[in-house]
Structure 1
Amino acid sequence: MSFFFRGGSRQRPTPQEIVRSIKDSLVALDTKTGAKALEDAEKNILTLRHALSGDGEVEPNQEQVLQIALEICKEGVLSLFVQNLPSLGWEGRKDLVHCWCILLRQKVDESYCCVQYIENHVDLLDFLVVCYKNLEIALNCGNMLRECIKYPTLAKYILESSSFELFFQYVELPNFDIASDALNTFKDLLTKHEDAVSEFLSSHYEQFFGLYTRLLSSTNYVTRRQSVKFLSEFLLEAPNAQIMKRYILDVHYLNIMIGLLKDSSKNIRICAFHIFKVFVANPNKPREIVRVLVDNHRELLKLLHNLPTSKGEDEQLDEERDLIIKQIEKLVRLSV
């Protein structure tokens, strides 16, 4: 059965009718093949979109939107959305993602009913992450995941699941659009909820940075550039101060930054400098860090002197570079 309305030619369906119609058509799509089953499913999803966000002529009724969200959860339609996403056409997928984002934002009695549904069906999150491997629906799934990540319980689940490690593969996918989308989702996971991220990195520190180091050493220029840029921003954010303090005590990571200071890319060298400077400026440098800085001071000073200048655009960068040069020179004098 399909509800599809134009110009108010029929009385609009109730929330229960809309949801029942969608459920029936998605179940049929899952069990049947053919253009008719697909057409019915996509028409019903479009009707849902109109009910949730209006159709250009009639504005949505917020009370009905909430009723639809409750009915969607009651009937398990969110699971059908995810399961049948690969079967839909381009327009159908776009409409479904639009509906998904609106539904997750609906708050009933101080709780997000659709978010609670996903909390109880976390396999949906795992499925969406894995779908980055599917060229046809990867970007749709990325949008759906980023909407989920806005909620701390869902973000925390993804961070702590085995699926999270897949992002370290996805950001190096040969398809630039998908790799960039995966990186955006990866960034959201690590920046949206400070407490969850801090807890995750505290308990998975070695594993996380071991995987992240591979990205910094990637032969793919875009991956290398985006990874060092994000790391330079992430470590210097105030909520991540404890993670940064731990990071700059590790001589292995110092050597990674020194290697990136030699990169052929100006942007990579500048981002690497912003991390390297924290190793040098740390007043409590371990002996191994001091030894590397002193033993390699000639090469380091040359790299820093050759660091691209801002030409007046960023005087702070020039000042920081000069300060770090002086710090290294001071270390050398004290070691003599």
Structure 2
Amino acid sequence: MSFSFFKPSRPKTPQELARAIKDSLMALDTKTVAEVKSLEKALEEVEKNFVTMRCMLSGDGEVEPNMDHVSQLIVEICKEDVLALLIHKLPILGWEARKDLVHCWSILLKPMVGSTYCCSQYIENHLELLDFLVVCYDNKDIALNCGNMLRECIKFPTFAKYILESPSFELFFKYVELPNFDVASDAFATFKDLLSKHETAVSEFLTAHYDEFFDQYEKLLTSANYVTRRQSLKLLSEFLLEPSNSLIMKRYILEVRYLKVMMTLLKDSSKNIRISAFHIFKIFVANPNKPREIKVILAKNNEKLVTLLHNLSAGKGAEDEQFEEEKELIIKEIERVSRLSNPEC
């Protein structure tokens, strides 16, 4: 009697696995909501293939991955257009399948030594896939998965530059204020990466789109949402003070409207926001080339500003000492400007 049917099935080759993943994902198209059982079966097949893909790409915890198989699988996934399917089918995948896909994503994007092709090159030829990942923030069920995948993509300067210059970038100003806290926080993490990971791309983008960007950013700084105000203010101070953005910063601190925003934030009910606002406000005041309009605003609001600053303290320790020194210098400069300007109140 033969017991051959008890033998484990032969492991799939990378080529077979790529084809199986493609077939199982495409099978989802033929299922309708009415065919619940067949759709569930199709999703189970996808999940099974994703588990196999994860094992082939990263090992099973006991056996290290075969790098030749990893390289071959990546080539096949690109050649068979599986990468596009992985992204487009995200909205209908199950929770486990999405989790496995996010785990595999960073491995798929890594350039393989000796490989003639990698997934990042595929995306370069299909940049619209990045826009699809961005708009997935509208779907709270997959938003966090897409956020993880997007941040892996943003590690590549080409992809970050594309998203910054794409119309879909403007959606982040909406996504960071979504009512779902987890989704809004994740969107802000991606937004921050876009504005901080690649200095040259960010500098070029801000230079080319200065007015549109800061018009939108002002809305974040004046948002009714405390978290939005605090995060956007902190991020602003970070990228304005990047050496690569020095020209942007010099332009920003010449504008009365943005000085007024910082002055308003100096009165915020949150101490953290007041301190963060001070660190940007002080750049306006310390600027040796302040335009007349800035001097007039400082002089007219001299007493209120000095009172606000006297009541502002950072805390304890060395940081507080430095903060107090900076604060005193800024107060003296405001008073100096006020004496020299002597405007009509």
Identify the TM-score tier after normalising by the shorter chain: over 0.9
Which of 128, 131, 151 is equivalent to 1:126? 131
Q: Deviations over 1:287-336 (max 9, x none)?
A: 10111111110111011111134233512111111110111111122224
Secondary structure of 1:180's counterpart equals: helix
- Does 2:14 align with 1:15? yes
Is residue 19–residue 72 contact of structure 1 (8 Å, CA) maintained in 2? yes
Shift of 1:238: 2.0
Relative to structure 1, the CA distance from residue 111 to residue 212 in structure 2 (aligned partners, 3 Å threshold; closer, same or farther) is: farther
- Inter-partner Cα distance in structure 2 for 1:304 and 1:263: 13
Output the TM-score relative to the length of structure 2: 0.92
Aligned to 1:3: none
Amino acid at match of 1:90: W
Structure 1 residues without counterparts, runs of 5 or longer:
1-7
Secondary structure of 2:289's counterpart equals: coil
Output the TM-score relative to the length of structure 1: 0.95
Aligned to 1:4: none
Shift of 1:110: 7.8
- Inter-partner Cα distance in structure 1 for 2:311 and 2:116: 55
Is residue 101–residue 144 contact of structure 1 (8 Å, CA) maintained in 2? yes
Is residue 285–residue 334 contact of structure 2 (8 Å, CA) maintained in 1? yes
Secondary structure of 1:166's counterpart equals: helix
Structure 2 residues without counterparts, runs of 5 or longer:
1-6, 33-38
Relative to structure 1, the CA distance from residue 116 to residue 309 in structure 2 (aligned partners, 3 Å threshold; closer, same or farther) is: closer
Q: Deviations over 1:40-90 (max 9, x none)?
A: 011001100000000122210112111111111000001100111111111
Is residue 171–residue 180 contact of structure 1 (8 Å, CA) maintained in 2? yes
Is residue 22–residue 85 contact of structure 2 (8 Å, CA) maintained in 1? yes
Shift of 1:12: 2.2
Q: Deviations over 1:200-222 (max 9, x none)?
A: 11100000000000000101111
Is residue 102–residue 145 contact of structure 2 (8 Å, CA) maintained in 1? yes
Relative to structure 1, the CA distance from residue 20 to residue 44 in structure 2 (aligned partners, 3 Å threshold; closer, same or farther) is: same
Number of positions where the alignment pairs a residue of Structure 1 with one of Structure 2: 329
Aligned to 1:329: 335
Secondary structure of 1:107's counterpart equals: coil
- Does 2:252 align with 1:247? yes
Give the % identical residues.
Answer: 68
The two structures, once aligned, show a CA RMSD in angstroms of 1.4
Aligned to 1:316: 322
- Inter-partner Cα distance in structure 2 for 1:279 and 1:195: 24
Is residue 280–residue 324 contact of structure 1 (8 Å, CA) maintained in 2? yes
Q: Deviations over 1:202-257 (max 9, x none)?
A: 10000000000000010111111111111122212222211111100111100000
Larger mean CA deviation between 139-148 and 22-31 belongs to: 22-31
Which structure: larger Rg?
A: 2
Q: Deviations over 1:152-211 (max 9, x none)?
A: 111111000000000000000011111010000001001111111111111000000000
